[in-house]
Amino acid sequence: MITSTRGIALIKQFEGCRLTAYLCPAGVATIGVGHTGSDVTLADVRHGRTITQAQADALLARDLRTTEAAVSRCVKVALTQGQFDALVSFAYNLGAGTLQRASLLASLNQGDYAGAANDLLDYVSAHVNGVRRVLPGLVARRRAEQALFNA
């Protein structure tokens, strides 16, 4: 599967697009549409680096393919498009490793779709200045992912 326009819109809504690198609330250098990795044309993302909109779009497309592949590898049950999109958004935000370790994946792979949808709401906090805090933006994102998952 690939992410639908609805799933991409959800990711863009919560990630935003910033052409100058910045530190996210968890202190991670980020650029474009939530890109945090490295790229051969950008080297490492670091505070203050700038890119073009075309570069941001290319990074998003590449990051989506990587995330989609990770979701497809992890999930062992059939998914609707909304469920796939919600999981891609989740993994795009928190990383494939978090998805692999997530209770929601265990529930999902046991066929407990409702349990997996409910488990999404367990991932609403991040370390900010060394303290784990519930972030309103993550609460809103997980609720939106949950709605998409259940659509």
Is 15 one of the catalytic residues? yes
Q: Which domain holds residue 44?
A: 5-150
Q: Are 137 and 123 in contact (CB under 8 A)?
A: no
CATH number, domain with residue 28: 1.10.530.40
Mean predicted confidence (pLDDT) in 66-88: 97
Q: Which of 24, 68, 74, 145 is catalytic?
A: 24
129: tokens are 């200045």
How many domains are there within the chain?
A: 1
Q: Which helix (H) or strand (E) holds 38?
A: strand 38-39
The pLDDT assigned to 130 comes to 86
Q: Are 85 and 7 in contact (CB under 8 A)?
A: yes
Instruction: Look up tokens 């250098």; give the residue.
Output: 29
Higher pLDDT, 39 or 127: 127
pLDDT classification of 43: cutoffs 50, 70, 90: low
Q: Which of 15, 17, 74, 145 is catalytic?
A: 15
Higher pLDDT, 38 or 84: 84
pLDDT classification of 40: cutoffs 50, 70, 90: very low
Cβ neighbours of 64 (radius 10 Å): 18
Is 74 one of the catalytic residues? no
Nearest-CA neighbor of 59 among 28, 92, 101, 107?
92
Mean predicted confidence (pLDDT) in 73-81: 98
pLDDT classification of 41: cutoffs 50, 70, 90: low
